């Protein structure tokens, strides 16, 4: 669903504009999932605005407004995390697959959107066993720069205990 607005950047006028906006947002969400699944962390970071922020928190903390998060990174700490993962982090090799759906888009202004979507992160270990690492919702604040970018991405995970390390973004 897309909220209504008159906008030159988002072009939400009429059915064609709404469809184009939805397609642009879905493209950003899918690119984010693919970059993380392919372990292209720096490409994922490029999907954020220069002053963007990534937060991963539990549903309980989010719903109660508690400022507790397992990850709370600005761009600099996202880059530090990427370097640590690429150079130093050693864990058993596993594959992840992120699925995103139930996308709801609200136009805040011509250059700003609020997007809510559901996610599932599957993990396949080296023996081929598949398990769910996390489920939850993304609460995204998007800004239009050269393209739509994450101003703030909050991953609200439903699991009280995540099955694997939270070194990696959800």
pLDDT single digits (tens) 108-128: 998 999 999 999 999 998 899
In Å, how far from its chain's centre is CA 95? 18
pTM across the whole model:
0.87
**Strand runs labelled E in the chain:** 48-58, 71-74, 95-109, 112-124, 130-144, 148-157
CA angle 98, 100, 106 (to 5 degrees): 145
How many CB atoms sit inside 10 A of residue 34's CB? Answer: 14
Taking only the tens place, the pLDDT of each residue in 9-56 is 445 566 668 899 999 999 999 999 999 999 999 999 999 999 999 999
Q: In the prediction, which pLDDT does 163 show?
A: 58
Neighbours of 163 (CB within 10 A): 11
The domains of the chain, with CATH numbers, are 14-157 (3.10.450.50)
Of the chain, the percentage scoring pLDDT greater than 70 comes to 85
Compare 35 and 169 and report the one with higher pLDDT.
35
The more confident residue out of 113 and 69 is: 113
* Cβ neighbour number for residue 58 with a 10 Å cutoff: 20
User: Cβ neighbours of residue 16 under 8 Å, at least 6 residues apart?
Assistant: none
């Amino acid at each position: 669903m897309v909220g209504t607005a008159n906008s030159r950047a988002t072009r939400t006028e009429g059915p064609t504009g709404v469809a184009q906006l939805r397609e642009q947002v879905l493209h950003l969400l899918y690119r984010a999932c693919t970059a993380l699944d392919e372990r292209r962390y720096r490409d994922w970071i490029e999907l954020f605005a220069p002053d963007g922020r990534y937060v991963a928190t539990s549903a309980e903390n989010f719903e109660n407004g508690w400022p507790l998060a397992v990850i709370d990174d600005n761009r600099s700490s996202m880059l530090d995390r990427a370097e640590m993962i690429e150079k130093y982090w050693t864990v058993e090799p596993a594959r992840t697959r992120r699925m995103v759906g139930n996308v709801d888009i609200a136009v805040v202004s011509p250059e700003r959107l609020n997007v809510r979507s559901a996610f599932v992160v599957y993990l396949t270990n080296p023996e081929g066993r598949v398990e769910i690492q996390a489920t939850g919702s993304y609460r995204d604040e998007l800004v239009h720069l050269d393209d739509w970018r994450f101003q703030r991405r909050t991953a609200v995970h439903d699991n009280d205990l995540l099955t694997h390390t939270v070194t990696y973004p959800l």
